[in-house]
Amino acid sequence: MFGRLLWKLLRSNRGRLAVALVAVISGAAVISALLNLEFDVERKLTQEFRLLGANLVISPGSSMQTNGAASYRSTAPASPSLMSEAAVLPQVKRLRTRDVVASAPYLYIVARTHDTPIVVAGTWLDEARKLEPTWKLEGDAVASRDDAIQCLVGRDVARQFGLAPGGQIELNYLGRSARLNVAGIVDAGGAEDSQVFVNLPVAQKLAELEGQIQFVQLSVSGTATSIGGYAARLTNSLPGYDVRPIRQVTEAEGNLLSRTRLLIVSMVVLILVLTALCVLATMAALAMERRADVGLMKALGGTISRIVGLFLAEVGVLGAAGGLIGCIAGVALSQWMGRRVFGTSITPRWEVFPLTIALMVVVAMTGALPLRRLGRVKPAVILRGE
């Protein structure tokens, strides 16, 4: 009997119930899209920030100050502080986790080509490309860090000396020389355009600094807190060395992530409130229309709890159905938001479905508060037509 009555209620007043259902579906669609974005936003923002390059630097100590990776790349001190490759790199490798996107040591020297001074950066060329994903490369990348005959040259260097992929450049430093093939031309839009990039052993051999490096750069994904935790573990494993996050990158990443999450949570709460108000207005009008039905039910012996429970079940079905339909629409909406904001799709999270449906049921129940007034209806007054 309860089921038959519930079915009758759902079929009657279909116009007003449709308004409430549309409100619930709209709210559920936006909320499920925002929740999908919330669960995936850290990974998406981390991917975007990794385009900025390295966010963690290991250096010999306080003698080499930096406010960012660019200052390292654009300077080549005459007597730089050095550190042992064998003392640092094994620890970096040992502590490397899946959050470390790339890591590479660096050694800078000022060599000469055609009697013109030029900055030479010795590094791991296979990792340097991962550290700098925004580089535009004309030609081929150098895939091996042991390649001693190929190099990458900056755009300005290539223009100055008329170099092209497949050409050659000769580097001279304190009477030692190295002739290298140009594998590719780097267009970085910064100081790197005026540099030549070689594998680390080539720079070490030119400077007679085998086994020596100036600093190590790492690109670590995650929040500012997790990056700081990883830096602390490196500090414990490398006493006497300076391990520091590049604050401009890590703090900006952490602040943007926190603000984005705060915005998403605020929007979810606002939409829940607006959906509840829409359901509330619909149910208030519906309660006035059903006074006669309630009076008849009470005259036939129906209890208040059973009558109110019947109406609440109706609202619960409305919330569950609207939440399910809204979740399906929310998946498509989240895909659209991901492409517009991040240039890639958002991965659907199936745990959003039960969470959104539960929220919609609670919102619908909250909006059904006017139905409690039906418990005060007096059958005698209703039957007299008053």
Q: Answer whether residue 287 is part of any domain.
A: yes
Instruction: Verify that 28 and 76 share a domain, yes or no.
Output: no
pLDDT score of 45: 63
Domain count, the chain: 2
55 in Cβ contact with 249 (< 8 Å): yes
pLDDT score of 151: 94
Q: Where are the alpha helices (DSSP H) in the chain?
A: 2-11, 14-49, 69-74, 85-94, 125-131, 155-161, 200-207, 224-237, 247-289, 291-299, 304-342, 352-367, 379-383
Q: How far is CA 361 from CA 39, 356, 364, in A?
A: 22, 9, 5
Concatenate the DSSP letters of all residues of 293-306 into one string.
Answer: HHHHHHHTT--HHH
The separation between CA 326 and the C-alpha centre of its own chain, rounded to angstroms, equals: 24
Q: Answer whether residue 251 is part of any domain.
A: no
Q: How many CA atoms lie within 13 A of 146 on its CB side?
A: 0
Instruction: Verify that 106 and 201 share a domain, yes or no.
Output: yes
pLDDT score of 78: 38
pLDDT score of 13: 62
Q: Answer whether residue 265 is part of any domain.
A: yes
30 in Cβ contact with 330 (< 8 Å): yes
Strand partners, 100: 220
Instruction: Verify that 88 and 231 share a domain, yes or no.
Output: yes
Instruction: Verify that 180 and 297 share a domain, yes or no.
Output: no
Give the end of a domain, one of 222, 245, 268.
Answer: 245
163 in Cβ contact with 184 (< 8 Å): no
Instruction: Verify that 43 and 166 share a domain, yes or no.
Output: no
The separation between CA 274 and the C-alpha centre of its own chain, rounded to angstroms, equals: 28
Instruction: Verify that 207 and 92 share a domain, yes or no.
Output: yes
Identify the residue whose tokens are 């079929």: 11
Instruction: Verify that 100 and 170 share a domain, yes or no.
Output: yes
Instruction: Verify that 183 and 316 share a domain, yes or no.
Output: no
Instruction: Verify that 87 and 60 share a domain, yes or no.
Output: yes
Q: How many CA atoms lie within 13 A of 171 on its CB side?
A: 30
Instruction: Verify that 43 and 59 share a domain, yes or no.
Output: no
Residue 344 token pair: 């890639």
Q: Answer whether residue 304 is part of any domain.
A: yes
292 in Cβ contact with 262 (< 8 Å): no
Give the end of a domain, one of 245, 280, 301.
Answer: 245
Instruction: Verify that 126 and 201 share a domain, yes or no.
Output: yes
Give the end of a domain, one of 195, 220, 245.
Answer: 245
Task: State which residues form the domain around 135.
Answer: 55-245
pLDDT score of 289: 66
* Residue of 142, 252, 233, 248 whose CA lies nearest to 186: 142
Q: Answer whether residue 322 is part of any domain.
A: yes
Strand partners, 360: none
Q: What angle do CA 333, 22, 293 make, to 5 degrees?
A: 155
Q: At what angle do helices 291-299 and 247-289 cross, to 10 degrees?
A: 60
Residue 113 token pair: 């080509």
Regions of the chain short of the pLDDT cut 70: 1-16, 41-53, 62-80, 222-224, 247-256, 286-310, 341-345, 368-386
Q: Exposed/middle/buried for 226, CB within 10 Å: 0-12, 13-18, 19+?
A: middle
Name the DSSP letter for residue 148. Answer: S
Q: Answer whether residue 365 is part of any domain.
A: yes
Alpha-carbon distance of 274 to 268, in angstroms, equals 10
* Residue of 115, 72, 144, 51 whose CA lies nearest to 152: 144
In angstroms, how far is the first alpha carbon of the chain from the final one? Answer: 29
Q: Which residues are within 8 A (CB) of 285 and not within 5 positions of it... i.e. 6 or more apart?
A: 16
Q: Answer whether residue 372 is part of any domain.
A: yes
Instruction: Verify that 108 and 146 share a domain, yes or no.
Output: yes
* Residue of 290, 312, 270 whose CA lies nearest to 16: 290
